[in-house]
């Protein structure tokens, strides 16, 4: 088990390395191959009517005159041993894991990521609880009452949930529930959990529901399909034949088997989400990792993009590992080798 985890962690580092090389290549190497010069790249990070001298000074300060491999080496080295940044009035040491300094705001990326992670995590965890509970419950009930009004209504709603984009449901929810009827607070009213748990939950309730609506629809459909399949298996009939109460048949035998694919999807979804819920964070003005990524991309602020990509990739790799470990717990046939 321990050896398995260690092996997987090594593989994870390899994955992150590949991700970082590809991302770096896309943002640093490709433009150069397409004919961009250090100066044209630096033009993005200066005021509009900057003089050629300003552009050169900035290109130099950002290291654009170095070969791309050297730029990557500086960046990667910073993650392991940290790096120094020239503030003008002095030098600031950015301790490992230093993911570089923003080209626009000239602040270190890593503290920014740490600052924003709680927002995204709060959003993801609350929504995940809601969609797991909601999705599984609706899915199981739909499967057990296949063909009834409940089943059809629930599945129609689920189809609607999957089809409607967050930026629509979110804005509609805000427009009516917050601004017109005043039931929920407006966008951007997030407060940290540590500061006031009640206000934290109140502020996040609407984003949670909006996000969970989308996901639970998906999970309800998956659970229903899985349940329909397993409930027709021979061992379910056996379980019933040996006189088990229906609840145990459904939960212990049916749902447990149907849960495996859902767990896989959940691992990926949750991992992806804590790397940044881009649309939800933007609609509700939550300053999380997703919003950070959008700002980074629109400003072409490469260190920000690198940082958030790597962090998101890390979460996905990690959650996959957790899912694989959980498999063993859920499905007795799986043994970790």
Partner 1 sequence: MNARRKMGIAAMAAFALVLTACGGGGDNTNGSGSTTKAEFNAALGKVFNPSDKKGGTVKFADESAPDSVDPGDTYYGSQWDMIRLWGRALTMFKVAPGDASNELVGDLAEGLGEPSDNAKTWTYKLRKGLVFEDGTPITSKDVKYAVERSTSKEVHPDGPAYFDSMLAWPAGWKGAYLSKGMDTSSAIETPDDQTIVFHLKTPFAGMDYLAMTPQTIPVPKAKDTGAKYKEHVVSSGPYMFESYSDAKGYNLVRNPKWDQATDPNRKALPDRIEMSMNVNAEDIDNRILSGDLDVAVTGVGVTPATQARVLADPNLKARADNPTLGRFQYISINPTVKPFDNIECRKAVMYGMDKTAYQTAYGGPFAGGELASNLMPPVIPGQEKFDLWATPDSKGDVAKAKEALTKCGYPNGFETNMSYRTERPKEKATVEAFQQSLAKIGIKITPKNFPRKDYFGTYAGNPPYVRSHNLGLVVNSWGADWNDGFGFLSQITDSRVIRETGGSSNTSVRIPEVDKLLDAGTVELDKTKREKIWVDVDKKVMEQAVIYPGLWAKTLMVRGQNLTNVFVNDQFGMYDYLSLGKP
- Which residues are near partner 1 by CB under 8 A? 36, 39-40, 43-55, 57-58, 60-61, 85-90, 92, 105-107, 112, 115-116, 171, 174-175, 178-179, 186-188, 282-285, 287, 291-292, 295, 298-300
Q: Shortest approach of partner 1 to residue 36 CB, angstroms? A: 7
Q: Name which of 186 and 327 has its Cβ closer to partner 1.
A: 186
Q: With respect to partner 1, which residue has the nearer C-beta, 40 or 320?
A: 40
Please report how close the Cβ of residue 181 comes to partner 1 at its closest, in angstroms.
11
User: What does the block give as tokens for 311?
Assistant: 């962090």
Four-residue CA torsion sign, 269, 270, 271, 272 = positive
Residue 122 C-beta: closest distance to partner 1, Å:
15
- Taking the least distance from each CB to partner 1, the nearer of 180 and 247 is 180
- Angle formed by the axes of helices 256-274 and 302-330, nearest 10°: 170
Side-chain half-sphere CA neighbours of 213 within 13 A: 20
Answer whether 275's CB lies under 8 Å from 159's CB. no
User: Rounded to the nearest whole angstrom, what is the least distance from the CB of residue 106 to partner 1 in the complex?
Assistant: 4
Q: Which of 219, 245, 215 is nearest to 143 (CA)?
A: 219
**Distance (Å, whole) CA 273 – CA 208:** 12
Q: What does the DSSP 8-state code read for residue 49?
A: T
Q: How far is CA 327 from CA 6, 262, 267, 313, 333, in A?
A: 17, 11, 11, 21, 9
Q: Residue 42 Cβ, how far from partner 1 at the closest point, in Å?
A: 8
Query: Shortest approach of partner 1 to residue 95 CB, angstroms?
Result: 16
Nearer to partner 1, 14 or 111 (CB): 111
Nearer to partner 1, 122 or 223 (CB): 122
Q: Nearer to partner 1 by C-beta: 107 or 320?
A: 107
* Rounded Cα gap, residues 77 and 317, in angstroms: 22
- Smallest distance from partner 1 to CB 63, Å: 12
> Would you call 32 helix, strand, or coil by DSSP?
helix
Question: Closest Cα partner for 210 from 281, 292, 316, 116?
Answer: 281
Nearer to partner 1, 192 or 261 (CB): 192
CA 82-308-165 angle, 5° bins: 170
Two structure tokens written together for 65: 């005159």
Shortest distance in whole angstroms from residue 193 CB to partner 1? 16
Q: What three-state secondary structure class fits 91?
A: strand
User: How many secondary structure helices (H) and strands (E) does the chain include?
Assistant: 15, 2
**DSSP label at residue 253:** I
Query: By C-beta, is 228 or 294 nearer to partner 1?
Result: 294
Question: CB-wise, 269 or 301, nearer to partner 1?
Answer: 301
Minimum CB separation from partner 1 for residue 30, in Å? 13
């Amino acid at each position: 088990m321990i050896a398995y985890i260690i092996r997987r962690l090594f593989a994870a580092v390899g994955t992150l390395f590949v991700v970082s090389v590809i991302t770096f290549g896309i943002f640093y190497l490709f433009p150069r191959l397409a004919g961009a010069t250090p100066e044209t790249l630096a033009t993005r990070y200066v005021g509009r009517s900057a003089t050629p001298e300003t552009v050169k000074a900035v290109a130099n300060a950002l290291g654009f005159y170095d070969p791309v491999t050297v730029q990557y080496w500086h960046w990667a080295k910073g993650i392991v041993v940290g790096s120094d940044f020239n503030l003008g009035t002095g030098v600031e040491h950015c301790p490992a894991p230093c993911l570089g300094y923003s080209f626009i705001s000239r602040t270190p990326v890593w503290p920014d990521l740490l600052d924003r992670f709680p927002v995204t995590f709060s959003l993801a965890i609350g929504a995940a609880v809601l969609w797991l509970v909601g999705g599984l419950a609706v899915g199981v009930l739909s499967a057990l009452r296949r063909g009834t009004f409940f089943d059809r209504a629930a599945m129609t709603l689920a189809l609607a949930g999957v089809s409607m984009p967050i930026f629509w449901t979110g804005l509609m929810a805000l427009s009516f529930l917050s601004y017109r009827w005043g039931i929920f607070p407006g966008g951007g009213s997030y407060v940290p959990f540590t500061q006031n748990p009640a206000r934290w939950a109140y502020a996040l309730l609407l984003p949670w529901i909006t996000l969970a609506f989308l996901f639970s629809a998906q999970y309800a459909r998956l659970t229903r399909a899985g349940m329909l399949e397993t409930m027709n298996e021979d061992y379910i009939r056996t379980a019933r034949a040996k006189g088990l109460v229906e609840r145990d048949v459904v939960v212990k035998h049916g749902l447990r088997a149907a849960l495996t694919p859902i767990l896989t999807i959940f691992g990926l979804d949750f991992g992806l989400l804590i790397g940044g819920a881009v649309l939800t964070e933007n609609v509700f003005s939550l300053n999380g990792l997703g919003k950070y990524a959008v700002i980074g991309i629109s400003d072409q602020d490469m260190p920000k993009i690198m940082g958030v990509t790597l962090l998101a990739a890390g979460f996905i790799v990690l959650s996959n590992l957790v899912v694989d470990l959980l498999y063993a717990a859920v499905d007795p046939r799986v043994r970790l080798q």
